Amino acid sequence: MNMISPHSASTMPLSRNQSVMVPPVEGASIIRQYLRIAIRWRYVIIGVTAACLVAGLVITLLMTPKFTATSTIEISREADKVANFQGVERENSFTDQEFYQTQYGLLKSRSLSERVAAQLRLVDDPAFYERFNHSSSEPAFQLQNGRYSAAGRAVRQRKAGEILLDHLSVDPTRLSRLVDIQFTSPDAEFSAKVANAWSENFIGTNLERKVQATSYGRNLLQQQLAQFKQRLDASQRQLVGYASAQQIINLPAQSSGDGKTTSERSIVADDLAAINATLNEATAERIQAEARYTQVGKAGASTEALRNQAINNLRQRRAELASDYQRLMVQFEPGYPAAQSIKSQLDQLDRSISREEGRVKGSLQTEYLASLERERALKSKVDQLKSSYLDLRRRSIQYNIYQQEVDTNRALYDGLLQRFKEIGVAGGVGVNNVSIVDPADIPQRPSSPRLLLNLALALIAGLVIGAVSALALEQIDEAIADPSEVERRLGLPLLGSVPRVEGRTPKEALIDRKSDMVDAYLAVQTNLSFTTEHGVPRSFAVTSTRPAEGKSTTALALATTLARAQRKVILIDGDMRSPSIHHLGGVDHDRGFSNFLSGEDNIASLTFEMHDLGFTAMSAGPIPPNAAELLTGARLSILIERLLDQYDHIVIDSPPVMGLADAPLIASRVEGVIYAIESHGIRSSMVRTALGRLSSANAHVIGGVLTKFDARKANYGYGYEYGYGYGQAEKKA
Q: What is the pLDDT of residue 412?
A: 85
Task: State the average pLDDT for the chain.
Answer: 79
Band (18; pLDDT cuts 50, 70, 90): very low
Instruction: Choose from 314-318, 400-404, 669-673, 724-728 the range with maximum mean pLDDT.
Output: 669-673
Cα separation, 161 vs 371, in Å, equals 100
Contact 470, 49 (CB under 8 A): no
pLDDT at 278 over 90: no
- Beta strands 265-266; 434-438: pairing state: unpaired
Contact 172, 70 (CB under 8 A): no
Q: pLDDT (tens digit, 9 = 90+) per residue, 654-707?
A: 999 987 788 899 999 999 999 999 887 778 788 888 899 998 889 999 999 988
Q: What is the pLDDT of residue 305?
A: 59
For 397-405, the CB contacts below 8 A with 24+ separation are 398/242, 399/239, 399/242, 399/243, 399/246, 399/248, 402/235, 402/238, 402/239, 402/242, 403/239, 405/235, 405/238, 405/239
3-state helix, strand, coil in the chain (%, to 5): 55, 15, 30
Q: What is the pLDDT of residue 166?
A: 92
Band (718; pLDDT cuts 50, 70, 90): very low
Give the residue with greater pLDDT, 23 vs 521: 521
Q: What is the pLDDT of residue 301?
A: 53
CA angle 179, 181, 186 (to 5 degrees): 160
Give the residue with greater pLDDT, 136 vs 647: 647
φ/ψ of residue 645, rounded to 5: -75, -25
pLDDT at 10 over 50: no
Closest Cα to residue 10, out of 679, 496, 671? Answer: 496
Q: What is the pLDDT of residue 523?
A: 92
Q: What is the pLDDT of residue 72?
A: 94
Cα separation, 104 vs 305, in Å, equals 99
pLDDT at 138 over 90: no
pLDDT at 643 over 90: yes
End-to-end CA distance of the chain: 7
**Secondary structure string (H, E, C) spanning 241-273:** HHHHHHCCCEECCCECCCCCECCCEEHHHHHHH
- How large is the average pLDDT for residues 142-151? 80
Contact 182, 195 (CB under 8 A): yes
- How large is the average pLDDT for residues 15-21? 36
Cα separation, 406 vs 418, in Å, equals 18
Give the residue with greater pLDDT, 303 vs 623: 623
φ/ψ of residue 622, rounded to 5: -60, 140
- How large is the average pLDDT for residues 36-46? 84
- How large is the average pLDDT for residues 585-592? 86
Q: What is the pLDDT of residue 425?
A: 57
Residues 6+ positions from 160 with CB-CB distance below 8 Å: 113, 114, 117, 122, 123, 128, 129
Helix (H, G, I), strand (E, B) or coil at 672: strand
On whether the pTM is more than 0.85, the answer is no
Give the residue with greater pLDDT, 508 vs 217: 508
Contact 167, 50 (CB under 8 A): no
Chain centroid, CA 317 distance in Å:
111
Band (8; pLDDT cuts 50, 70, 90): very low
For 275-284, the CB contacts below 8 A with 24+ separation are 275/378, 275/381, 275/382, 275/385, 276/382, 276/385, 278/378, 279/375, 279/378, 279/379, 279/381, 279/382, 282/371, 282/374, 282/375, 282/378, 283/375
Contact 433, 106 (CB under 8 A): no
Band (338; pLDDT cuts 50, 70, 90): confident
Give the residue with greater pLDDT, 113 vs 362: 113
pLDDT at 5 over 50: no
Cα separation, 487 vs 684, in Å, equals 11
pLDDT at 329 over 60: yes
Radius of gyration of the chain (CA): 64
Q: What is the pLDDT of residue 111?
A: 92
**Poorest-confidence range of 8-17, 103-112, 421-430, 444-453?**
8-17
pLDDT at 480 over 50: yes
pLDDT at 252 over 50: yes
Q: What is the pLDDT of residue 732?
A: 31
CA angle 713, 717, 718 (to 5 degrees): 175
- How large is the average pLDDT for residues 617-626? 90
- Beta strands 649-653; 539-544: pairing state: parallel
